[in-house]
Structure 1
């Protein structure tokens, strides 16, 4: 199975989700420390050249691959990837299941503003503290989103491609 966490930039909430998924962060709803947040792989490190790229984060305890992707505002990225996966299932008998999980609903305003200042405007002195504040605000929601994503993936046996929009985390 492939898990693909997706959002606008692919460098904040998706990085945290992948780290939770891979048990690289504490497995609880407690607030993360600044150091834990800033040490997450890919957190606040991607640039515009990374948009649309599948980034590999690791293999989980069940042998599943975990990826993330920044899709910008393009609402067609995930549906196009779903169609490609279904084509591969049909034409080439590749039976790998895909789970797309949208982390955007977990993102608070502080994280959005932090991403704008840090990644777009290159003003880390303002952006990074806002990103840390935002990550602390939403880390419990991201943790629950990951746990729900794993649960749905392991209980939805009839679907080869699962898309979770996760609107309940707004």
Structure 2
């Protein structure tokens, strides 16, 4: 089996991406059931990143198949992931490494309470308003995130002809 690298990406890299990485690594229940507040708040990196973390690839661990799982917050830069794809293709061609890389965009699954919660908590540092909104939003979208991750893994396992795949995941809006 060709080794793969999964990179979940969105605006901040600290909410839906953290949940996606946790689902992928089986650190959350493997079902579409609603998560508890405690499960959400205990996810590594959930609501813990700052502006200085934008653009950094954060390693979350290796999945059961030995594939690496990362997250990244790209802010509003729509060119970040395509640029990473082009750089990856260049490096694969020059250095002949064979890892398949799957970029999976989690922003389409973000509900309004999560956007507002992120703004209050991370942007304005008003956690007493932001964190409860983030938890409400996470509970609203956790089933979509779970399905998004399952779909991402399935595409990674079945796409044999592409070395770099970008999933926009628009169906999870």
Q: Which of the five TM-score ranges fits, normalised by the shorter chain?
A: over 0.9
Structure 1 gaps of 5+ residues are none
Deviations 1:80-103, CA, capped at 9 Å, x for gaps: 100011011111111111000000
SS in 1 for 2:8: strand
Looking at structure 2, the residues matched to 19 and 155 of structure 1 have their Cα atoms a distance apart, in angstroms, of: 22
CA RMSD across the alignment:
0.3
Looking at structure 2, the residues matched to 97 and 87 of structure 1 have their Cα atoms a distance apart, in angstroms, of: 13
- 1:160 counterpart (152, 158, 163): 163
SS in 1 for 2:60: strand
SS in 1 for 2:70: strand
Number of positions where the alignment pairs a residue of Structure 1 with one of Structure 2: 170
Looking at structure 2, the residues matched to 169 and 120 of structure 1 have their Cα atoms a distance apart, in angstroms, of: 25
Deviations 1:71-127, CA, capped at 9 Å, x for gaps: 000001000100011011111111111000000000000000000000000000000
1:133-148 correspondence runs (5 A): 133-148=136-151
Structure 2 gaps of 5+ residues are none
SS in 2 for 1:69: strand
* 1:95 aligned partner: 98
1:58-77 correspondence runs (5 A): 58-77=61-80
Looking at structure 1, the residues matched to 101 and 76 of structure 2 have their Cα atoms a distance apart, in angstroms, of: 21
